[in-house]
């Protein structure tokens, strides 16, 4: 009887991580990936129709890397090119450096790529889309 109880506890201990809810796992974004790939990864975690609150919770608790000390803010938009968009939420995902001098056989240059994501919401506070942007600076 005691062996059976130990076996059941050991089996439960081994199987429990597989049965655990995966919603608490951290999401790591590969900054080197193409914009479409990053967008798809973010849309998988925050599908269209998600509420602002659930997107904010995802960003605050599960998205990694994130800029330390940055606050999540929702801004109203006045962009005439996007009439359906009422609010936006922008998050700095991170940055990385590239040395492209060796590629072009010129003097060494350093390119800093900054990657950010912007969630677009309608008037009811539901997610419409996610836009991923890269900004490059040459040094």
| Chain segment 109-123, per-residue pLDDT in tens | 777 888 999 999 999
- pLDDT at site 22: 47
Alpha-helical regions (H) of the chain:
2-19, 35-45, 52-61, 101-104
* pLDDT level of residue 130 (50, 70, 90 thresholds): very high
Give the N- to C-terminal CA distance of the chain in Å, as an integer: 71
* pLDDT, average across residues 43-64: 92
46 has a pLDDT exceeding 50: yes
Q: Which residue has the tokens 């919603």?
A: 23
Task: Show the tokens assigned to 35.
Answer: 């914009």
Q: Which of 115, 116, 119 is nearest to 43 (CA)?
A: 119
């Amino acid at each position: 009887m005691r062996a059976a109880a130990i076996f059941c506890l050991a089996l439960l201990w081994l199987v429990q991580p597989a049965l655990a809810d995966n919603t608490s796992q951290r999401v790591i974004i590969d900054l080197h990936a193409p914009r479409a790939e990053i967008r798809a990864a973010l849309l998988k975690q925050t599908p269209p129709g998600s509420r602002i609150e659930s997107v904010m919770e995802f960003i605050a608790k599960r998205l990694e890397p994130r800029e330390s000390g940055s606050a999540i803010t929702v801004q109203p938009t006045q962009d005439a090119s996007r009439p359906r968009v009422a609010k936006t939420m922008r998050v700095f995902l991170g940055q990385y450096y590239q040395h492209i001098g060796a590629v072009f056989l010129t003097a060494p240059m350093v390119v800093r790529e900054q990657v950010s994501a912007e969630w677009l919401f309608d008037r009811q506070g539901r997610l419409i889309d996610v836009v991923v942007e890269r900004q490059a600076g040459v040094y």
